[in-house]
Amino acid sequence: MVTRRTILWLAAAALACSNAFAQPPKRIVSTAPSITELLYALGLGDRIVGVDRFSRYPPEALRKAKIGDYVNPNLETIASLRPDLVIIPTNPVKLADRLALLRLKVLELDQESIAKLYESFRIVGQATGATVQAAKLESTVRAQLEAVRMRATPLKKTRMMFVVGRTPNRLDGLIVVGQASYLNEIITLAGGENVFGDAVASYPGVSLEEVLARNPDVIVDMGEMWDTVGVTEEHKRQVTSLWERLSSVAAVKQHRVYAVASDVYVIPGPRLVDAAKAFLEMLHPEAR
Distance CA 79, CA 74 (A): 9
Going by their DSSP bridges, the two strands 174-176 and 205-206 should be labelled as antiparallel
**Which letter, b or e, does each residue of 199-233 get, where b requires 16 or more Cβ atoms within 10 Å of its Cβ?**
beebbbebeeebbeebbbbbbbbbbbbeebeebee
Contact status, residue 118 vs residue 138, Cβ threshold 8 Å: yes
| Coil, strand or helix at 31 | coil
Domains 4-145 and 154-287 share a fold: yes
Contact status, residue 169 vs residue 242, Cβ threshold 8 Å: yes
In this prediction the pTM is 0.88
Of the two residues 12 and 158, the one the predictor is more confident about is 158
- Fold that domain 4-145 belongs to in CATH: Rossmann fold (3.40.50)
Going by their DSSP bridges, the two strands 65-66 and 158-165 should be labelled as unpaired
pLDDT given at position 236: 87
Spatial CA neighbour of 11 closest among 133, 127, 129: 127
pLDDT above 90: residue 82: yes
Strand-pairing partners, residue 150, are: none
Mean per-residue pLDDT for 23-46? 97
Contact status, residue 164 vs residue 198, Cβ threshold 8 Å: no
pLDDT above 60: residue 19: no
Read off the amino acid at residue 107: L
| Coil, strand or helix at 160 | strand
Contact status, residue 52 vs residue 73, Cβ threshold 8 Å: yes
The structural domains of the chain, with segments of one domain joined by +, span: 4-145, 154-287
Domain 154-287 indexed as CATH 3.40.462.40: no
Of the two residues 14 and 250, the one the predictor is more confident about is 250
Chain Cα centroid distance, residue 44: 20
Mean per-residue pLDDT for 138-161? 97
73 DSSP 8-state letter: B
In this structure, of 53-67, 100-114, 218-232, the range with the lowest mean pLDDT score is: 218-232
Provide the H-helix boundaries in the chain.
4-19, 33-41, 75-80, 95-100, 114-128, 131-152, 182-189, 208-214, 233-242, 250-253, 272-283
Chain segment 186-234, per-residue pLDDT in tens: 999 999 999 999 999 999 999 999 999 999 999 999 987 666 777 788 8
